[in-house]
Structure 1
């Protein structure tokens, strides 16, 4: 006997509650594209969206007993799970670190390329001050102050010891302090 081409909402809920894999496959086929779109919209990251979508359907499968027909439609319930899961991923520290590292990797400078620090305060002449620092020091300042990386993250990204990052950062800040003092004179 062929399976129906569509199911009612109650048939879907009953099928999921009885752990019917055919119903689950149907649900996935019908709703995965829409839910994927929601995940991509929240994360703005297609690479992570597939993994998050898998987590969403796993939560739907495991938590179907928590669905209450009186509180809303099945799709609305699934949409809320999807949105909340994507937001949780977006807020997670590992996701933020992955995004920072991705942005930093895109900005890693080739040896002979000049370092470009993205300035919002260029009118203060800060970019001229940074020119007095070494390339490594400018890179540290860029990562810490403009990319928002912690010293631990910088150490991981640049693959150097944390103590080295701290020493170089302290030296760079002291040099900037001297540069600012000399300008004020």
Structure 2
């Protein structure tokens, strides 16, 4: 959006469109608006994929597929939770891709309904949106929080959140009792939650 400021002939100020404005335009098949959303979020989304996928070729392929799904189902995304929705979509798609690639998990055929109910995130309007600038702002602090966990706690969290294993699968993989898995997840989550509250209080 171009706007000419008062008393400044010949000068213009560029006001970047908000996510809500771009999302509304993209939903009307405005490809330029979608390209702006891609430019805004693809670097962060690619970084998230690379935390789960090691090889560049797979990461780039997943990035393309994530934004193809986003374009195809853009009306399913809440304008107030866009970044959160893209992050969850990326996680779901990446884990599904890796499981299918390695073939160590039997999954249903990937078709329209499967994508809608297993890949597309279901976000409530009541969820507080995770804004991109806030996520980038606390990126370092989150890294420091995770460093404060024990090796066992970090590993269990990684298996649960990034490898997509459930509690039973983690128990079988690590050959430890299910209550132990639940305890480690709970303790690690409580620690991160408390550190997050402290950080929010400090930044607020």
Name the TM-score class by shorter chain.
0.3 to 0.5
**Between Structure 1 and Structure 2, which shows a larger proportion of helix residues?**
1
Question: Which protein is bigger by CA-based radius of gyration?
Answer: 1
- TM-score, reference length from structure 1: 0.46
